[in-house]
Amino acid sequence: MFKRQKILLALIEQFGGELSRTDLQKLLFLYCERSGDNAYDFVPYKFGCFSFQTYADKDKLEDRGYLAVSKPWKLSHAADTRYRDALSYDERQTLWTIQKRYGELSTDELVAQVYRNYPYYAINSQIAGDLLNKDELSLVERMRPCVEGQALVSIGYEGLSLEAYINHLIRFGVKLVCDVRKNPLSRKFGFSKTALKRSLEHMGIEYRHFPELGIPSDKRQTLNTQRDYDRLFDRYEKEILCHQRDAVAEIAALMKEKERIALLCFERLPEQCHRTRVANAVLKQLSSNMEPITT
């Protein structure tokens, strides 16, 4: 069992063995914030902070009998275990503090408390207007990224959780993700094509896959130095990219329509990923002096 899953189970145990879906997300978020533990990352979703990873873990923990199969998060009676005992003293103290401070709040009071202290996570909320006053809502609006004009964003997901990646997209105002992987499969949670498309669409971000712009995996062997990468990408431009003018033109047209687009691939460093060459080709198609935004 992963450490994050132990924390999840211990949190539910701390609150009496059962939590509603909304309460679970907010209390787990507060635990991660207070402890400094990055076990889970969160995005600003319909009811505030939300982690896609928790639901993948919920399915696994239900399959293994640790959680009951139910809408609320409920410990299974079949797994009679003290999950808090598996945590450190500091982790148990943090759970106790979270329960003492927030345990008596209603769901609405809990959500409102999170919104007040972490207003970024309320920017997409469907209920903030019912829970916050005018000044508090103004602060939420100030947390909303203010981005204008065309931009081509280049972000590799290496080293990022799905939620952290999505937060990058939100902060850059990205409306469409163009996946330029040849094979859009990943052992990293959330980044295989179907799951990624579904998660992005939940966040109001479109997804398109351009496999013709990818590099076959057999051509990516023995890349040890930057010179190796440069040689590979030079060959890529001559052997693949130059024959994919239609795909490049389509991304350029989409950029005119959506204005802010991200190119998705794995590698964190833009100089070690072919998406940089794709970005340059798109901007050339647009006759733009703009530089891709990289993180």
Compute CA distances 13 → 40, 161, 222, whole Å.
Answer: 18, 26, 48
Neighbours of 37 (CB within 10 A): 15
Let me know: does 95 contact 87? Beta carbons within 8 Å.
yes
Per-residue pLDDT of the chain (295 residues; tens, 9 = 90+): 899 999 999 999 999 999 999 999 999 999 999 999 889 999 999 999 999 999 999 999 999 999 999 999 999 987 667 999 999 999 999 999 999 999 999 999 999 999 999 999 999 999 999 999 999 999 999 999 988 889 999 999 999 999 999 999 999 999 999 999 999 999 999 999 999 999 999 999 999 999 999 998 877 778 889 999 999 999 999 999 999 999 999 999 999 999 999 999 999 999 999 999 999 999 999 987 888 888 7
- The topology under which CATH files domain 151-294 is Cobalt-precorrin-4 Transmethylase; domain 1 (3.40.1010)
- In the chain, where are the structural domains located? 3-142, 151-294
AA identity, residue 32 = C
Neighbours of 99 (CB within 10 A): 16
Let me know: does 215 contact 236? Beta carbons within 8 Å.
yes
- DSSP-derived secondary structure for 180-192: --SS---SSTT-S
Least Cα distance to 6 among 21, 23, 28, 26 occurs for 28
Q: Could you report how far apart the first and last alpha carbons of the chain are, in Å?
A: 32
Residue that is written with structure tokens 């914030």 in the block? 33
The span from the CA of 157 to the CA of 109, in Å, is 35
CA dihedral 245, 247, 248, 249 (to 10 degrees): 80
Let me know: does 177 contact 169? Beta carbons within 8 Å.
yes
